[in-house]
């Protein structure tokens, strides 16, 4: 169901890579976690991966992601998303955010899927479908922020 193949050249090149690391394909979050562990261990970079350092690194990557779309209106973002070559920069920044988030979860021993599931369950109770469906009036637009709450609305 993917619209675009994400070019995927680097992933493909990687699969054929039989070099020193002889990596196998990453098929789930656990595999990604282990691969990032090994990446850090091989370079002895684990010493830098404290939670605060990783959060700062995550901030840096989210900043790069924001920079990709900062001057683009919605129409041009759509163009970017749909252009096989231009979208590469967006895909790479999203990947960088995931990489640091997975590393952070790992050093804090957080099970990402369990954590997300818990949060969604709590959001389902906080935003009952009947009360929040559709109506722009009910959608947590300004109200939440204005009221000083931490509600952040849709999703």
For the segment 84-123, give every residue that binds a second copy (CB under 8 A): 86-92, 94-105, 108-123
List the one residue out of 123, 145, 147, 127 whose CA is nearest residue 135.
Answer: 127
Q: Tell the smallest beta-carbon distance from residue 21 to a second copy (Å).
A: 6
Q: Tell the smallest beta-carbon distance from residue 61 to a second copy (Å).
A: 7
In Å, how far from its chain's centre is CA 116?
13
Both structure tokens of 93? 């920044």
The footprint of a second copy on residues 18-77 (CB under 8 A) is 20-21, 23, 25-29, 31-32, 35-36, 39-40, 42-45, 48-72, 74, 76-77
C-alpha radius of gyration, the chain, whole number:
19
Size of the site for a second copy (CB under 8 A): 113
Range 53-64 burial, b when 16+ CB lie within 10 A, else e? ebeebbeebbee
Q: Does 155 bind a second copy (CB under 8 A)?
A: yes
Q: Does 137 bind a second copy (CB under 8 A)?
A: no
Q: Tell the smallest beta-carbon distance from residue 79 to a second copy (Å).
A: 9
**DSSP assignment of 42-86, as one string?**
HHT-GGG--HHHHHHHHHHHHHHHHHHHTT--HHHHHHHHH-TTT
Q: Tell the smallest beta-carbon distance from residue 84 to a second copy (Å).
A: 11
């Amino acid at each position: 169901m993917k619209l675009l193949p994400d070019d995927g050249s680097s992933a493909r090149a990687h699969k054929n890579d039989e070099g020193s690391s002889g990596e196998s394909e990453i098929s789930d979050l656990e595999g990604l976690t282990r691969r990032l562990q090994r990446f850090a261990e091989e370079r002895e970079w684990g010493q830098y991966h404290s939670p605060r350092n990783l959060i700062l690194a995550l901030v840096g990557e989210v900043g790069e992601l924001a920079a990709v779309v900062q001057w683009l209106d919605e129409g041009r973002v759509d163009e970017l998303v749909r252009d096989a070559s231009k979208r590469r920069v967006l895909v790479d920044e999203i990947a960088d955010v995931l990489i640091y988030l997975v590393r952070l979860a790992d050093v804090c021993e957080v099970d990402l899927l369990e954590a997300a599931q818990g949060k969604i369950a709590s959001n389902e109770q906080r935003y009952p479908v009947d009360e929040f469906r559709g109506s722009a009036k009910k959608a947590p637009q300004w109200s939440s922020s204005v009221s000083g709450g931490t509600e952040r609305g849709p999703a």
